[in-house]
Amino acid sequence: MANILELLPELEGEEMVFVQGLIKEMTDAHAAQFAAVYRSRRRDPGTVLLLACLGFIGVSGIQRFVLDQIGMGLLYFFTGGICLIGTIVDVVTYKRLAFDYNRSRAIEISGTLRAMA
């Protein structure tokens, strides 16, 4: 029984609940390994918000590149964040953007660990 507050104390809200559900059934060693890999791969929502805010000074779409959305990143970059609409959307929904990315990384990592075990 692994405890999320000891392994990954920086997680909040939805992400914490989701990752707790993933590591609940892991052994302690497994959960520690998962935490180390997950911490190095996840994107901090605060970083996503900061990069989205760059759109207000003319550099748009960096947050989309960071979240592996190359197409959306290019579209944002060359249209000024789709005429600022996209930038505002991302500033409002940055937590959801980061969580969607982090959730797929968490599923990926737990799948790899299970395959190796």
Partner 1 sequence: MPSMPEIIGPSPRPSAFPLWSAFERLASLPIEAMVWIGSLVFLYLVDPASPGRPDLCLFHRLIPGLPCPGCGLGAAIHDLMHGEIGASLRAHPLGAPALLILVARVHTLLRENHEPRRRRGRKESTDGEHS
- Assess 83 for contact with partner 1 (CB under 8 A): yes
- Assess 100 for contact with partner 1 (CB under 8 A): yes
Report which secondary-structure segment, H or E, holds 114. Answer: helix 94-116
Residue burial 10-31, b: 16+ Cβ < 10 Å; e: rest: ebeeebeebbbebbeebeeebb
Least distance CB 103 / partner 1 (angstroms): 8
Q: Which residue type occupies 31? A: A
Among 92, 108, 114, 117, binds partner 1 (CB under 8 A): 92
Least distance CB 15 / partner 1 (angstroms): 13
Distance of alpha carbon 49 from alpha carbon 47, whole angstroms: 5
- Assess 17 for contact with partner 1 (CB under 8 A): no
- Assess 71 for contact with partner 1 (CB under 8 A): yes
Token pair belonging to 40:
């190095």
* Footprint of partner 1 (CB under 8 A): 69, 71-72, 74-75, 78-80, 82-85, 89, 92-93, 96-97, 100, 103
